[in-house]
């Protein structure tokens, strides 16, 4: 991608968000920054004072921060825009509303930085209605709302499962759920890179700002209509006309806090009908939900044998050794013990590894030998984010489980918990959907065990 192409891409991105194009000075600042020039050098090229260029640049970085959803400054604007251009490969609308096709070399190196991105965009042709896209054509992709993929650790089994569900089983709705930081977004971004040529459109939307369904549908239609001569009336019509992949991230943000898992906030109840309609309607597209827990209707739809699937994402297992290697930890013979202790959770291991480097000079054996209880430290606020969402009855049950030394028989009601059998079972199902407790099969018995990290946190508190 040339400097001119990236400048045009950035200008169109800003215009789409602000309805204002970048002016000549702002363009000069961007071009000069990509060339490694200082503000005083840029000022000379556009016949402005150094202070004027600095002031305009400060406003420009603020605008780009708002547009891109991340902190932009002179030191990172180059890499940030290159990354966004690489991950958001799509044809964009010019001032005359005609579709502009550009061949983007996504291995961009304008700023003397080497980065890896998905495959190049090529000229694509529209697929006819009700037909799947021909492989190797480039989709129109918008991943502006997606997080940055910095590391991806081996998830071969999970990737294989997801590809089978989407490409072979034609699953219409998939929920990937698990604890925060477990790798749901990273897995999905890697999935997109591997299957993007199977779709006409791919878009990532984040519900962390509690996007209403009405607004979501409007934004999706605007995205899908880029190449539609005749706009379609509903999202399902779009899903039928073209093969679309839509990812909704942070779905837990539209669920109630203090209630059983997956219950919607009052103003987001219509999402339940939307998810059901996506699942039960005939179309060739796929909706992926990323969440800490599953929506309540998923269980009912699965019981009805509808084309939807749920993937409970767990730790990395031995693949997590790569994290410890990257962090430069010592005592490799103790790595698996550390990984097991923290359940292969990538974010937890990164945080703990930082402590081991700082306090124990990178020695895993010294860290493990010095732990009478499981060390939590900087993990505590992450754990609390999950616990504060629980209902009162869920808190009662997990506190009861935290006091048990062994897994509890599924048919037993814990002492000092005033719940009916029906209420107890509902709570158990809710906690399982939150990935806080697990069901362990021993012979013909079903036993319950609390996540050991949360168990340690509750007991220490």
419 plus 334 within the same structural domain: no
Would you state the pLDDT for residue 448?
85
Domain end residue (candidates: 87, 107, 129): 87
Counting the structural domains of the chain, the total is 4
- Looking at every residue in the chain, the average pLDDT score rounds to 82
Q: What is the pLDDT of residues 189-224, one digit of tens each?
A: 999 989 999 999 999 999 988 889 999 999 998 888
Domain enclosing residue 404, as ranges: 382-460
Confidence of residue 263 (pLDDT cuts 50, 70, 90): very high
275 plus 321 within the same structural domain: no
303 plus 333 within the same structural domain: no
Report if residue 340 sits inside a domain: yes
342 plus 391 within the same structural domain: no
Confidence of residue 52 (pLDDT cuts 50, 70, 90): confident
Q: What is the pLDDT of residues 282-309, one digit of tens each?
A: 999 999 999 999 998 888 888 788 899 9
pLDDT at position 356 over 90 = yes
Report if residue 267 sits inside a domain: yes
154 plus 193 within the same structural domain: yes
216 plus 289 within the same structural domain: yes
Domain end residue (candidates: 312, 340, 363): 312
Would you state the pLDDT for residue 95?
31
Report if residue 295 sits inside a domain: yes
**Residue 261 maps to which CATH number?**
3.40.50.300
Q: Identify the weakest region by mean pLDDT among 155-159, 238-242, 301-305, 361-365.
A: 301-305
Would you state the pLDDT for residue 98?
32
Report if residue 247 sits inside a domain: yes
Would you state the pLDDT for residue 47?
66
SS (H, E, C) the chain: CCHHHHHHHHHHHHHHHHCCCCCHHHHHHHHHHHCCCCHHHHHHHCCCCHHHHHHHHHHHHHHHHHHHCCCCCCCCHHHHHHHHHHHCCCCEECCCCCEECCCCCCCCCCCCCCCCCCCCCCCCCCCCCCCCCCCCCCCEEECCCCCCCCCCCCCHHHHHHHHHHHHHCCCCEEEEECCCCCCHHHHHHHHHHHHHHHCCEEEEEECCCCCCHHHHHHHHHHHHHHHCCCCCCCHHHHHHHCCEEEEEECHHHHECCCCCCCCECHHHCHHHHHHHHHHHCCCCCEEEEEECCCCCHHHHHHHCCCCEEEEECCCCHHHHHHHHHHCCCECHHHHHHHHHHCCCCHHHHHHHHHHHHHHCCCEHHHHHHCCCCCCCHHHHHHHHHHHCCCCHHHHHHHHHHHCCCCCEECCCCCCCCCCCHHHHHHHHHHHHHCCCEEEEEECCEEEEEECHHHHHHHHHC
């Amino acid at each position: 991608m040339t400097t001119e192409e990236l400048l045009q891409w950035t200008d169109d991105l800003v215009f789409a968000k602000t309805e204002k194009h970048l002016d000549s000075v702002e363009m000069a600042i961007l071009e000069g920054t990509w060339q490694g020039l200082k503000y005083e050098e840029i000022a000379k090229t556009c016949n402005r004072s150094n202070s004027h260029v600095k002031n305009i640049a400060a406003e420009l970085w603020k605008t780009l921060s708002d547009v891109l959803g991340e902190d932009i400054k002179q030191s990172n604007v180059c890499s940030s825009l290159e990354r966004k251009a690489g991950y958001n490969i799509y044809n964009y609308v010019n001032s005359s509303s005609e579709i502009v096709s550009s061949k983007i070399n996504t291995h961009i190196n304008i700023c003397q930085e080497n980065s890896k991105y998905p495959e190049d965009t090529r000229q694509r042709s529209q697929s006819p209605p009700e037909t799947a896209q021909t492989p190797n054509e480039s989709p129109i992709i918008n991943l502006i709302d997606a997080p940055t993929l910095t590391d991806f650790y081996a998830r071969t089994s999970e990737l294989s499962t997801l590809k089978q569900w989407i490409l072979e089983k034609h699953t219409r709705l998939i929920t990937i759920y698990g604890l925060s930081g477990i790798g749901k977004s990273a897995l999905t971004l890697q999935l997109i890179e591997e299957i993007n040529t199977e779709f006409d459109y791919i878009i990532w939307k984040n519900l962390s700002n509690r996007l209403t369904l009405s607004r979501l549908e409007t934004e999706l239609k605007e995205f899908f209509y880029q190449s539609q001569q005749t706009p379609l009336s509903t999202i399902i019509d779009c899903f039928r006309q073209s093969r679309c992949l839509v990812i909704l991230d942070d779905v837990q943000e539209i669920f109630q806090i203090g209630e059983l898992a997956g219950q919607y906030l009052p103003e987001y109840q219509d999402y339940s009908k939307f998810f059901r309609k996506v699942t039960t309607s005939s179309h060739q597209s796929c909706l992926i939900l990323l969440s800490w827990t599953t929506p309540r209707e998923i269980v009912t739809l699965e019981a009805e044998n509808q084309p939807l699937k749920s993937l409970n994402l767990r730790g990395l297992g031995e693949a997590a050794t790569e994290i410890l290697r990257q962090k430069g930890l010592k005592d490799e013979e103790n790595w698996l013990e550390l990984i097991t202790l923290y359940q292969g959770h990538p974010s937890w291991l990164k945080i703990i590894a930082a402590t081991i480097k700082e306090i124990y000079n990178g020695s895993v054996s010294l860290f493990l030998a010095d732990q009478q209880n499981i060390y939590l430290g900087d993990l505590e606020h992450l754990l609390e984010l999950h616990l504060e969402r629980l209902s009162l009855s869920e808190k009662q049950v997990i506190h009861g489980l935290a006091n048990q030394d062994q897994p509890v028989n599924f048919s037993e009601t814990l002492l000092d918990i005033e719940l009916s059998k029906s209420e107890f079972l509902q709570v158990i199902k809710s906690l399982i959907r939150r990935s806080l407790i697990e069901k362990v099969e021993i012979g013909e018995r079903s036993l319950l065990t609390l996540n050991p990290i949360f168990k340690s946190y509750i007991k220490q508190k």
